[in-house]
Structure 1
Amino acid sequence: MASSDAKPLTAQCQCGYVSFPTPTAKPITMYYCHCTECQRQSGSAFGTSAIFPAEGLFPLSPELESRLKVFRRPTNNGRSLDCYFCSECGSRMIHRIISADGTPRSSVSIKGGCIEGLDWNGKMHIFTRSAVMKIPVEWEQYDTLPPWMKMD
């Protein structure tokens, strides 16, 4: 099957109340984040983010929007992060960065544990300076962000 014919994956919360197709069949990139914010939101040693284009998911359909709640928290550099979660079970599902001027980023993070059929192999680890587990030296890793991620 050609990659252009590949079907989107399905993202679903823990209870099944929220379910939607990913904007594309594969994420743009994916990473394991070891920052303390991701540790808190995941209740684990790290968070898993699969990055997809926002187009095709945003604006949210009225049905999807009615099933999600959003928590906005400040980030570095005057930005904020919209954190979407299931209004029934509370599963964190989508993150979207909003710039200081209010412009939403053209990509979104869909939390990896919510995506059925996601390829988990060979992904990078970021914010390893906060890691609470040993990360093998042969795995791609960065103390904070890789240089190409540091732009807005």
Structure 2
Amino acid sequence: MTVSGGCRCGACRYEVALDAVTAVYCCHCTDCQRWTGSAFSEQAVVPAGAITAAGPVIDYTLATPSGRQSHQYACGTCHARLWNVSSLRPDLAIIRAGTLDENRSLEPRAHIWVRSKQPWIVLDDDVPQWPEGPDFEGFFAALSR
């Protein structure tokens, strides 16, 4: 199975070779709020090696407060962020779910950094939540359900 997506202007396109439909989660941290200009970001975890891209994809690398490297891959034309890879888990990529072609049917399976969420957002109690960053075991179990 292949999942496709791209940037706002159409200059960059990507494909992800997956065995199953991508599970998404929402991050409510203030960094994601600032990156998106919205209340949260919707993201999907995929194997980094499964992504192939075409177009002017640029790598904006930044150091996190913990000293890790975060590679933010974006369109070199419209600067829409497409995915990122962290030095903490270089085998995983975090795709911006809104850039997927078929994103309307995706429902979040987890919420992280909910202590920073906007107060008007009401979350479903049946969806796992973490006040800050999740523990990997519980987080991946939530995404796999």
Please classify the TM superposition score into its range, dividing by the shorter chain length: 0.7 to 0.9
Gaps of at least 5 residues in structure 2 are 139-145
Taking only aligned residues, the RMSD between alpha carbons, in angstroms, comes to 2.2
Aligned to 1:4: none
Q: Percent identity?
A: 24
**Cα distance, 1:23 vs. partner?**
2.9
CA separation of 1:126 and 1:149: change in aligned 2, threshold 3 A:
farther
Does 2:136 correspond to 1:148? yes
Aligned residues of 1:33 and 1:126 also touching (Cα < 8 A): yes
The letter of the residue matching 2:125 is V
Residue 27 to residue 145, structure 1, CA distance change in 2 (3 Å): farther
Alpha-carbon separation, structure 1, partners of 2:40 and 2:108: 16
Aligned residue among 37, 51, 62 for 1:73: 62
| Amino acid of the structure 2 residue aligned with 1:82 | H
Structure 1 runs not aligned, ≥5 long: 1-6
Identify, as 1 or 2, the structure richer in strand. 2
Q: Given the alignment of the two structures, is residue 38 of structure 1 paired with residue 41 of structure 2, yes or no?
A: no
Note the C-alpha offset of 1:30.
Answer: 2.3
Return the offset for 1:131: 0.1
1:8 to 1:122, Cα distance in 2 relative to 1, 3 A: same
Please report how far the alpha carbon of residue 122 of structure 1 lies from its aligned counterpart in structure 2 after TM superposition.
4.4
Q: Point out the structure with max Rg over C-alpha.
A: 1
- Length-normalised TM-score, structure 1: 0.77
Q: TM-score, normalised by structure 2?
A: 0.81
Instruction: Report how far residue 26 of structure 1 moved.
Output: 3.6
CA contact (8 A) 2:43 2:95 kept: yes
Q: Secondary structure at the match of 2:60?
A: strand
Q: Pick one of 109, 112, 117 that aligns with 2:102.
A: 117
Paired positions, count: 135
